[in-house]
Amino acid sequence: MQHQTPQFIDIEDKVVGPFTIRQFIYLAGGAGLLFILYRFLPFFLFLVFGTIVAGFAGSLAFYRFNDQPFIKLVESAFKYITTSRLYLWRHRKPADIKREQDTVAIPQKNKPINPASGLSSSRLKDLSWNLEVKEDN
């Protein structure tokens, strides 16, 4: 028994003329907002804000960034601005930094490296801290 496999599933159907339903909604929303701005703002302010609204609606409908829709870029930017970030700062004295640079061993290419022998207690603490810290995404 043969089954047909769907092809071109990543391409949206053109529903409203040459536009997909998503493009049509973005353009219709932009046109509606432009009409509201035209009715309630003076002409000069309408030109300023209307250009911004028209550009944003056009970008939502047609612009693709890294082969992704523009709305994903806007969503990622909004999420980056609104979520909290974890900043850690550990004060180290210049003498400690100098000692760390002096004790760093250069691995030899022919010698096999035992991963357990290269882990100090401070490195283990750093690794366990990285595993325990969970960020909200």
Q: Model-level pTM greater than 0.85?
A: no
Per-residue pLDDT tens for 54-79? 999 999 999 998 989 999 999 999 99
What residues are paired with 16 via a beta bridge? 19
Nearest to 50 by CA among 65, 70, 69, 30: 30
pLDDT digits (tens, 9 = 90+) for 93-122: 776 666 766 665 555 554 544 555 555 567
Burial of residue 46, with CB atoms counted within 10 A of its CB: 0-12 exposed, 13-18 middle, 19 or more buried: middle
